[in-house]
Amino acid sequence: MLGLGSLLEKPQHDKKGLDQLRATLAVDRNKYREEIVRLSRQRRHDDELASTILEGLRTPNHRTQHNTPTFTGTNIASNAVYTCITDVLSASQSLVSEYKRLDGTISKLREDQAHPIADTWKRDIEETENHLKFGARVALQNVRKVSGAKITSGDAKGLTDENGDVNMTVGGEVQLACELLESLRNVERGIKRMTKGLPVNQGH
């Protein structure tokens, strides 16, 4: 404005000043025209983008699995970042489905297995131990019956368990060996008595 005022104060015949003023106005006019064109293009681009977004929001929801969604009049689907994000979302959906499947399987197994695994294992061990103890008692009783061994109440004190069987951990093995030895001696004496009356062969 100060430059313009100084030019107006000069005489009208100053042609150089007028030319300079015209050149300045032309430059400013071109600058403003370019700015107006740029703003018009930007506004048109914003309007197109807003229209595309609104059209996408109005589109009914539908499954897009295995189908790459596109937008009319845009190049969104060809964008590298968009493609990468689409792949990540598809993989995430697969992971969620697999998680739901595994969760259902685990829940079914939990329902089928009412007792914890540790408790079941402990109970199986106890049952197996009881079966083995019972089998050992039966086997020992059969051996005693075959050998004819007997244990009196006095001799059995401290050598039997709560079931009345020989306790294998407190001298039962030694007691059983003594009983077998006594039985063999009885058999030997019986055989000697049976052979006393037999004739002796003089040839030998």
Does residue 159 belong to any structural domain of this protein? yes
- Asked if residues 190 and 183 have their Cβ atoms less than 8 Å apart, the reply is no
- Phi/psi for 65 (5° steps) reads -65, 135
3-state helix, strand, coil in the chain (%, to 5): 70, 0, 30
Q: Same domain for 140 and 109? A: no
pLDDT tens track for 69-106: 555 556 666 666 677 777 788 888 888 888 888 888 88
Residue with tokens 């004739």: 199
Q: Same domain for 132 and 110? A: no
Q: Same domain for 185 and 139? A: yes
Residue with tokens 């004190």: 157
Distance CA 49, CA 31 (A): 27
Does residue 28 belong to any structural domain of this protein? no
State which of 67, 86, 114 marks the end of a domain.
114
Q: Same domain for 87 and 140? A: no
Question: Is this prediction's pTM over 0.75?
Answer: no
pLDDT tens track for 12-45: 556 788 888 888 888 888 888 888 988 988 888 8
**CA 62, chain centre distance (Å):** 32
- Phi/psi for 64 (5° steps) reads -120, 15
Does residue 157 belong to any structural domain of this protein? yes
Q: Same domain for 135 and 177? A: yes
**Average confidence score pLDDT of the chain:** 69
**Does the pLDDT at position 5 exceed 60?**
no
Q: Which comes out higher in pLDDT, residue 189 or 99?
A: 99
**Domain carrying residue 140:** 127-195
What is the per-residue pLDDT for 59? 53
- Number of domains observed in the structure of the chain: 2
> Amino acid identity, residue 95?
L
Q: Ramachandran region of residue 134, left (φ > 0), alpha (ψ -120 to 50) or beta? A: alpha
**Does the pLDDT at position 157 exceed 50?**
no
Does residue 150 belong to any structural domain of this protein? yes
Among 139, 142, 134, 135, residue whose Cα is nearest residue 163: 134
State which of 114, 143, 173 marks the end of a domain.
114
Q: Same domain for 108 and 137? A: no
What is the per-residue pLDDT for 159? 44
Does residue 164 belong to any structural domain of this protein? yes
